[in-house]
Amino acid sequence: MRDSHTPVTTRWTPRTQARKTAIQGLLVLLGWDRNPSYQEAPPNLLSDRLKLLVEAGVLRTRTYQEPGSRHRQSYHLTPAGQELRLVLAALQQWGDCHRPRPSGPSALRRSRSTGQAMRVGFLDDDGRELPAEDLTFVMNAGPEA
């Protein structure tokens, strides 16, 4: 049994690393672009995750310098990273429903122009919203068929 003075360590498995990398992208999406950290990740792992997101074309870096400090990198979403908003919003919406935090959502999805709440859904070609249960994935034969 551990006492209250024993630190809790995080086991960095590939699954938790992937989750933390996704969360890192979400933090940048939310505007935390300078040295974003999440749950005291080891600095080398944080750097590796950010580098992976830059190499994947999700983030780009910009150099900045605060007065009296050395040059540092800030992280910004690329156009491809911006397109991940839909994916990240869907993951957040799922988590809000199936794994809610006692204190409520960590972020709210709102329209910039109206401030109204937003949610992720499926639309048909005519712009009508369809229930998720109506979605099916149809395999595409591809060009080799």
pLDDT digits (tens, 9 = 90+) for 93-140: 988 899 888 998 888 899 999 999 999 999 999 999 999 999 999 998
Provide the pLDDT for residue 47: 77
- Provide the residue range defining the domain that includes 37: 14-101
Provide the pLDDT for residue 42: 65
- What confidence category does residue 77 fall into, taking pLDDT thresholds of 50, 70 and 90? confident
Provide the pLDDT for residue 52: 85
Residue 58 lies in a domain: yes
- pLDDT per position as a tens digit, 32-55: 555 555 455 566 777 787 888 899
Higher-pLDDT residue of 129 and 26 is: 129
Cβ neighbourhood burial of 52 (10 Å; 0-12, 13-18, 19+)? middle
- What confidence category does residue 10 fall into, taking pLDDT thresholds of 50, 70 and 90? very low
Q: What is the count of structural domains for the chain?
A: 1
Distance between CA atoms of residues 43 and 35, nearest Å: 10
Residue 64 lies in a domain: yes
Residue 124 lies in a domain: no
Residue 113 lies in a domain: no
Phi, psi of 22 (to 5 degrees): -65, -45
Residue 54 lies in a domain: yes
Higher-pLDDT residue of 27 and 49 is: 49
